[in-house]
Amino acid sequence: MTNSPGWAPELGILGTGRMGSRLAAMFARAGRRVVLGSRDFDRSAAIVKELGIPTLRAGCYLDAVRAPAVLPAVFVRDGLLDLLERYCSSLKSKLLIDISNPFNSDYSDFVTPWDSSGAEELQRRFPQARVVGAFKNVFWEVFDHPQFGDVLSDVLVTGDSAPAKAEFLKLAEGTPFRYLDAGPLIRSRTIERLTFITSSLGQQLNSYPRMNWRLLTQAAA
Ligand SMILES: NC(=O)c1ccc[n+]([C@@H]2O[C@H](COP(=O)([O-])OP(=O)(O)OC[C@H]3O[C@@H](n4cnc5c(N)ncnc54)[C@H](OP(=O)(O)O)[C@@H]3O)[C@@H](O)[C@H]2O)c1
């Protein structure tokens, strides 16, 4: 399916869980050619068939990592780093979009130390790729109804490479979020850990998991 003549994916997504399937649909609806990769091709094929978006195709992980931009939607605790290691030669110079919040299995803490982040661990392990952190602050349910009334919520974007961030923003054109450059990759430490606060505030406000940030601003006089 993914290797039909003239069809080259722009984005490969690994993992068909809550985030992977929704991000694949979102990017494909914005017109990007997306391959949704799964450990189980039939699982991906069923999701893609159900979604029925012309620019979305099913594949396995190998199909996904062949795309010029790769977005793994797999938990660090489930072996994300080792999994990508299998495809490390395919990651050279690629845009690697990191959405990980490295929660442990009961969501009480992170599996990464305080002086690191999922994004930095990925960049350290795969220096041949250009890591951009994004969507970490967006809970899965938000993708189903991304607007809050008339308001677009924010996606905080991090990365050490300005061209990589620009490539990411081009890929994200037409998707229903406001993208803010939140600075270098090290800021992912804060953004990832912010999810603990968002999650508990959402529960207090009886909104979980339908909540997201929007930075309110007013132009300086
Ligand atoms: N959930 C959220 O609201 C949210 C928000 C922001 C960021 N994130 C991040 O997004 C990533 C994915 O989160 P998610 O909520 O989409 O997770 P999920 O629903 O559990 O899906 C993860 C997918 O990873 C794949 N996978 C590969 N190896 C696996 C293994 N050993 N065990 C289990 N699954 C494995 C599976 O897809 P296949 O079987 O198709 O290969 C699975 O469906 C995580 O890094 C998370 O921190 C999540």
Q: What is the pLDDT of residue 6?
A: 77
How sure is the predictor about 1, in pLDDT bands with cuts at 50, 70 and 90? low
User: Hey, where are the domains in the chain?
Assistant: 11-204
- pLDDT surpassing 60 at residue 62: yes
Q: How far is the CA of 209 from the centre of ligand 1 (A)?
A: 16
Q: How far is the CA of 152 from the centre of ligand 1 (A)?
A: 24
Q: Considering the domain 11-204 in this protein, what is its CATH number?
A: 3.40.50.720
Tell whether ligand 1 has an atom less than 6 A from the beta carbon of residue 78: yes
Tell whether ligand 1 has an atom less than 6 A from the beta carbon of residue 163: no
Q: Average pLDDT of the chain?
A: 96
pTM: 0.97
126-146 per-position pLDDT tens digit: 999 999 999 999 999 999 999
Tell whether ligand 1 has an atom less than 6 A from the beta carbon of residue 64: no
Q: How many CB atoms lie within 10 A of CB 78?
A: 11
